[in-house]
Amino acid sequence: MTVRIGNCSGFYGDRFDAMSEMLEGGELDYLTGDYLAELTMLILGRDRMKNPERGYAKTFLRQAEQCLGTALDKRVKIVANAGGLNPAGLAEALREVARRLGLDARIAHVEGDDLIARADELGFVDAGQPAPLTANAYLGAWGIVECLGAGADVVVTGRVTDASVIVGPAAAHYGWKREDVDQLAGAVVAGHVIECGAQATGGNFSFFTEIADLSRPGFPIAEIEPDGSSVITKHPGTGGLVSVDTVTAQLLYEITGGRYAGPDVTARIDTAVLSADGPDRVRISGVRGEAPPPTLKVSLNSLAGFRNEAVFVLTGLDIDAKADLVRRQVEAGLAQRPADLDWTLARTDHADADTEEAASALLRCVVRDPDPNVVGRQFSSIPVELALSSYPGFTLTAPPGAGQPYGVFTPGYVDAAEVPHVAVLPDGTRVVIAPAPVTRALEDPSAPAAPALGEFGPTVRVPLGRVAGARSGDKGGNANLGVWVRTDEQWAWLANTLTVDAVRELLPEAASLTVTRSLLPHLRAVNFVIEGILGRGVASQARFDPQAKGLGEWLRSRHVDIPESLLPKGHSA
């Protein structure tokens, strides 16, 4: 029988009611949730500094208090990575909730990913650099499988890969073995689609205006078959849309190319074939898998210092001159120059504007330093003191406050055999999960040739987004940017036109950075990785869009010469 696996969370802070909506909205076998991201691990690390008994996603505990009885009544098993830095603590808190509610719930957890106590031994501490606050290896699905096999009703984990919370239930349901790489890869791809919640059902979707009701999109479900193929869908009557386009967009999210490596299997994203399977149903088939790499990725987060900023509003004429004046004034007033001092001017102003806001630009000054006083008292008073002695119309969006701590993310790698992967069963039994017996070093797939370009006739200069959708996101300090089109003719044009050089020209912020491109013909998509555009990760806030969420939409807004014959009807000018 097909196993139905739903998702109710794509991040720590996602829609609180989604767990109850998914449990009450239709039939499920498993309900999963992804609560962890690179930034979340830093947040949980700071929570643990304040209280060693914390370090897990408190939202999940509140959701479980409301929904655990319903899940037990409906025989829906829950699997989530909400344990964060303290899965054992969350498991015990869940048992207390169950006892208080009079529920007989079998709770299990997976641990072993937390390597902070061994960070120096494993080579994750660099002289002269801040010591890591968190160090967590990305575990796979087999600890989850062990817990479910022992009858667990709820399994909570620490840092497992996002897709593992979906792969584990599928593997447990069908009894897959480690050598079943195609089946596992299919489940990884299905998991990658649904683990970000409503991003698979119309959220953050380039063509969102085509969706009839996006006011409250439903959360996604993967119906996974014994061979690893799947259908992505959602509960009937919920908002949003599941289409080949929404699934394509999510498949392109935060990947690095045709191979998607994990601790259990390397899934070949470039083999996935999507097809419509009815209203709000998309079939994923053809996914092939390979043995996983011998190393596990490690998420390292450090507190790097303190950060502050001031945003000046510049209105009307002489914007550049006003910006130059306030730059000179601020820098002259600094008793000690911060380690980092960055200025950016956003020309949001319009000539002859009919509102004051439309006539204004924003000048942002960001400072960072290991010393909180340098970015606190010594900096924050300067912009305020300029109020009556600077450019005409001087104003700030808000006065700067005290410097706030900021973090940096660093990826690491460790031999899988060095990481203890332990399933703690409902009765307390501890089962050690061995690393993958067969591994394969990760390599780039052979680059497919771009299709023949052909003749498309006259062109018109319009935004790229007239024909292309995009999805972008962060991978540490790098940004992933996937672009796809809808027809074979558009694909031939896109693959030959949107080159690395073209992306550097269209996105000047990437002009000096390393950019790699991968072609994904089955998806009619091109994927780019732009290295270093996010500095040292989202917590460092190196740019105003620190997670690169809008990078794809910026690219879509850039004007290029597109053959008129490729434009959708009604969009030829």
Q: What pLDDT does residue 454 have?
A: 81
Query: CA–CA distance from 561 to each of 58, 153, 308, 343, 466 (Å)?
Result: 50, 56, 42, 33, 11
Question: What is the average pLDDT score of the chain?
Answer: 95
Residue 93: which H helix or E strand, with range? helix 87-101
Residue 212 has pLDDT above 60, yes or no: yes
Query: CA–CA distance from 382 to each of 100, 306, 309, 315, 389 (Å)?
Result: 54, 17, 11, 20, 11
Q: What pLDDT does residue 354 have?
A: 96
The structure tokens 């706030």 sit at: 404
Query: Rounded mean pLDDT of 321-346?
Result: 96
Domain ranges of the chain: 3-299+411-432, 300-402, 459-566
Q: What pLDDT does residue 571 have?
A: 59
Kindly indicate whether the domain formed by 300-402 is annotated with CATH number 3.30.70: yes
Q: What pLDDT does residue 121 have?
A: 94
Cα–Cα distance, 393 to 28 (Å, whole number): 59
Instruction: Single out the residue of 293, 34, 289 nearest to residue 186, CA to CA.
Output: 289
Instruction: Single out the residue of 165, 50, 157, 47 nearest to residue 113, CA to CA.
Output: 157
Q: Which residues pair with 230 in a beta bridge?
A: 224, 284
Q: Which residues pair with 526 in a beta bridge?
A: 483, 519
Query: Rounded mean pLDDT of 278-283?
Result: 98
pLDDT tens per residue across span 507-520: 999 999 999 999 99
pLDDT tens per residue across span 24-67: 999 999 999 999 988 899 899 989 989 988 999 999 999 999 99
CA dihedral over 343, 349, 355, 356, signed as positive or negative: positive
Distance, first Cα to last Cα, the chain:
51
Cα–Cα distance, 108 to 217 (Å, whole number): 31
> How distant is the alpha carbon of residue 248 from its chain centre?
15
Confidence band, pLDDT 50/70/90 cuts, at residue 352? very high
Instruction: Single out the residue of 216, 190, 191, 192 nearest to residue 203, CA to CA.
Output: 216
Cα–Cα distance, 548 to 470 (Å, whole number): 12
Structure tokens at 194: 């649904």
Q: What pLDDT does residue 570 have?
A: 67
Residue 73 has pLDDT above 80, yes or no: yes
Query: CA–CA distance from 507 to each of 272, 276, 436 (Å)?
Result: 29, 34, 41
Query: CA–CA distance from 455 to each of 47, 450, 458, 490, 567 (Å)?
Result: 59, 15, 9, 12, 15
CB 342 within 8 A of CB 352: no
